[in-house]
Amino acid sequence: MKTTDTLRRAGRSLRQAKARTLLTSLAIAVGAFTIMMSLSAGEGTRNYSNNLIQSNVDPRALFVVQDKSLFESGGSASTGLREFDADVSDRNGRSIKLMNQEDIDALKARDDLEEVVPTYQLSVRSVTFSGSDKQYSAEVAAYNPDVKSEIAAGSLPEKGVAIKDDEIVVPEGYATTLGITPKDLVGKTMTLTIIQPTATLSEEEARQVIAAEGVEGLAQRAQGETKELPLRVVAVTKQAATSFTAATSASVSANTAREIAEFTTKGTDTYQKYLGVTAKATEGNDPAEVKTRLEKEGYAAQTAKDLQSLIFTIVNVLQYIVTGFGILALIASLFGIINTQYISVLERTSQIGLMKALGMRGSDVSRLFRYEAAWIGFLGGVIGIILALIATIILNPIINNALDLGTGNYLLAFVPWHAIVLLASLILIAILAGYFPSRKAAKLDPIEALRTE
Amino acid sequence: MIEVKNVTKTYGKGESRFMALDDVSFTIPDGVSVAILGKSGSGKSTLMHIMSGLDRTTSGEILINGENVFVKKQKNIDAFRSKTMSFIFQSFFVQGRESCYDNVGLPLEIAEVPVAERKKLITKALESVELGDKARQKAKDLSGGQKQRLAIARAIVNNPKILFADEPTGNLDTATGAVIEKLLFRYAKEQKATLIVVTHDPELAEKCDMQISIRDGKMQYIRGQSEKGENE
Ligand SMILES: Nc1ncnc2c1ncn2[C@@H]1O[C@H](COP(=O)(O)OP(=O)(O)OP(=O)(O)O)[C@@H](O)[C@H]1O
Ligand SMILES: [Mg+2]
């Protein structure tokens, strides 16, 4: 019997038992749907996090710290006393070794790193805007030239280029608070007031101050020195959907950030002490190799890829779990196929006998039943995949809305070739499930079969 | 020419051993009609199955046109059967849920007749049993006589040289049975095909060129072979 005839005949047999065929395929469809959704969700989430990372982190970027434990979750918190070390700070019960200026300089001197910027801890006492005396409190961070920002007003240098030292970028929320349009905010001067903590002077130093500036000078020292930094607002940014940075902080250039950090920590233990630096591998240097070199020298580093693989690991584990359920559903449905096909063989005993009497080969009879199983697998797969496609189309905008992912970001990505591979595997699996019933049909003795009636 | 030589068929082993056919020999020339007669359980169907290669002999052999077809590989037997012979059964075995057209098409699919030739053959077969207008109808909606006519159409569609019929009129009333008989004889005559009919009915047997009577697995008598045999 020709393959096309066998296929047509198989399809016809299934159509003649519509309800049974449909129910058996629906069981497969459940598995197919689950697997397809899990594939789509995995793909979508990976795409989204890629998007997220790419718009926030330069692929060449590295985050270098002195203390490896920063990258390790958990870890044992030390209790009790430890020897004093000016380079060690305590955070959440853990001692963190900080970087000092020497480390920074050493890193800056390397030829496989560029744009080495320490992570400044910026604290600003208050801010004012030109045209008003009203004081506000605000968070300030160093401007990250690699983050794509949507602009509400003003302009930003192109990606990868820093802003000038006397410039500041503010979030849209500031305009709302000030009750003006973002456009009006651009060009205004935003003055940051920063304070130096009270200097603890030795007796000797105190005497010198009194000698030079009198008692007022000493009083001023005791109060702490303040400094005002007038900065020009160059741009008002919208919170980009794919941005990691909080919408609440204003951004200043790296130099200004340094000025603020050093001024506000002068005379304290944290002066010129940093958690780590952000840097970029220089052109032609693989960040991963730079990382290995840094680690050999006792630093710890994370590349953009590390961050990505961290997210991917989580996504993948979730995906494996869901796919696992889909596979379980599929296995259950396979017994459905086996059962259905066994019943079909029994029901059609006389038909099989007749076909064999008319000269149909056992292998052709077996093929007929395997093709029927294949049709069931195909049908179930198509139903499941179409349902998954529909679910993707319906759910994507809903998820997007609920999680506020921003335009064009969808957590479910339907990949056609995934669907095709899935469908092909389903057909193959169904054929395997149909193997035992089809063998029974092939081995049927035509005389026995024709006696049935 | 079909030669049956010392064919024995036993079922079971030991105590329950049962001899369904016991040393049966005869020759059927091409193009004759043969009736196999005998009481119920005498071994008529068994003989027919063995002659058609559906069943294997315990001993003895079947030669078709001088060739012992049935010692070949099953694959070759099947191919041979699909091209040379066909069957009609007492309980029609038409596929109720399929159309008449598809029922008749089955032997052509099995014999791998090219698609282009099928329609003509199927239409011709259906028309010859006067079911031309029922091609698209489901077989289950036919009457008993129509079902058997459909079975005949299916049996003759591929122009078999040998037609086996196991009590083709057993389930039908006399009038309908007569129509079926006429169709079978007409086909055999027109196509010069060998027709082998298993029957209880002496009247039907008389219409055949040859009568072979079986009793408890043994051949009781054979009539008409000589006259016809000499003609061939
Ligand atoms: N598979 C088998 N196992 C055991 N005995 C069998 C088997 N097939 C047939 N027989 C026996 O062989 C004998 C001949 O059977 P067969 O079907 O050939 O009879 P028949 O002449 O066609 O009868 P009927 O006219 O009732 O159809 C019967 O006694 C039957 O019981
Ligand atoms: Mg019988």
Domain count, chain A: 2
**Is residue B231 predicted with pLDDT exceeding 60?**
no
Identify the residue with better confidence: A168 or A243. Answer: A168
Whether residues A156 and A224 share a domain: the answer is: yes
d(C-alpha B60, C-alpha B81), whole Å: 20
Q: Are residues A243 and A333 in the same domain?
A: no
In a shared domain, residues A289 and A380: no
A280 and A342 housed in the same domain? no
How many structural domains are present in chain B? 1
What pLDDT, on a 0 to 100 scale, did the predictor assign at position A53? 77
Q: How many residues does chain B have?
A: 232
Of residues A154 and A75, more confidence is placed in A154
End-to-end CA distance of chain B: 10
| Residue (of A392, A439, A425) closest to A45 by Cα position | A392
Question: Which residue range(s) make up the domain with A385?
Answer: 3-53+310-450
The band of B228, judged by pLDDT with boundaries at 50, 70 and 90, is: very low
Domain ends where: A254, A287, A303? A303
pLDDT of residue A65: 86
Give A309's pLDDT tier (boundaries 50, 70, 90): confident
What is each CA distance from A76 to A92, A95, A396, A446, in whole angstroms?
11, 10, 42, 76
pLDDT of residue A372: 93
Going from the Cα of B203 to the center of ligand 2, the distance in angstroms, rounded, reads 18
From chain A, the residues in CB contact with B106 under 8 A are: 354-355, 358
Q: Which chain A residues are within 8 Å of B103, Cβ to Cβ?
A: none
Question: What pLDDT, on the 0 to 100 scale, is given for residue A199?
Answer: 63
Give the number of the atom of ligand 1 that is nearest the alpha carbon of residue A448.
1
Nearest CB neighbour to B89, from listed A12, A355, A450: A450
Q: Is residue B147 part of a domain?
A: yes
Domain-embedded: residue B229:
no
pLDDT of residue A68: 76
Residues of B in contact with A362 (CB under 8 A): 74
What mean pLDDT is predicted for residues B59-74?
89
Is the domain of A208 the same as that of A141?
yes
Residue B47 falls within a domain, yes or no? yes
The pLDDT tens digits for A194-203 are 988 776 667 7
For residues B91-118, average pLDDT:
92
Mean pLDDT for A370-378 is 94
Do A72 and A13 lie in one domain? The reply is no
Residue A75 has pLDDT above 60, yes or no: no
How many C-beta neighbours within 10 Å does residue B220 have?
A: 12
Output the pTM of the full model.
0.72
Within this chain, do residues A198 and A269 fall inside the same structural domain, yes or no?
A: yes
State whether A287 and A143 are in the same domain. Answer: yes
The reported pLDDT for the residue numbered A89 is 67
Q: Which of B49, B97, B112 has the CB atom closest to A2's CB atom?
A: B112
Q: Spell out which residues have Cβ within 5 A of ligand 2, the ion.
A: B 45
pLDDT tops 50 at residue B165: yes
- Quick one: three-class SS letters along chain A? CCHHHHHHHHHHHHHHCHHHHHHHHHHHHHHHHHHHHHHHHHHHHHHHHHHHHHHHCCCCEEEEECCHHHHCCCCCCCCCCCCCCCCEEEECCEEEECEEHHHHHHHHHCCCEEEEEECCCCCCCEEEECCCCCCECCEEEECCCCCCCEEEEECCCCCCCCCCCCEEEEEHHHHHHHCCCHHHHCCCEEEEEEECCCCCCCHHHHHHHHHHHHHHHHHHHHHCCEEEEEEEEEEEEECCCCCCCCCCEEEECHHHHHHHHHHHHCCCCCCCEECEEEEEECCCCCHHHHHHHHHHCCCEEEEHHHHHHHHHHHHHHHHHHHHHHHHHHHHHHHHHHHHHHHHHHHHCHHHHHHHHHCCCCHHHHHHHHHHHHHHHHHHHHHHHHHHHHHHHHHHHHHHHHHHCCCCCCCCCCCCHHHHHHHHHHHHHHHHHHCHHHHHHHHHCCHHHHHHCC
Range of the domain at B170: 2-223
Q: Does some domain include residue B52? A: yes
Looking at the fold, whether A372 and A298 belong to one and the same domain comes out as no
Say if residue A13 is in the same domain as residue A41: yes
Residue at B152 is within a domain: yes
Measured between CB atoms, does A3 come within 8 Å of chain B?
Answer: no
What distance in Å separates the CA atoms of residue A124 and residue A68, rounded to the nearest whole number? 30
Mean confidence (pLDDT) of chain A: 85
Q: Which two tokens stand for residue A236?
A: 């008002």
Q: Which pLDDT belongs to residue A73? A: 55
Q: Is the pLDDT of residue A78 over 60?
A: no
Instruction: Give the chain B residue nearest A446 (alpha carbons).
Output: B54
Q: Are A140 and A41 members of one domain?
A: no
Using most ligand atoms within 8 A of CB, pick from B22, B46, B212, B214 the residue to mutate for ligand 1. B46
ipTM: 0.90
Q: Among A242, A277, A303, where does a domain finish? A: A303
State which of A263, A278, A303 marks the end of a domain. A303
pLDDT at B232: 39
Supply the CATH number for residue B215's domain: 3.40.50.300
Residues A274 and A259 in one domain: yes
Q: At residue B108, does pLDDT exceed 90? A: yes
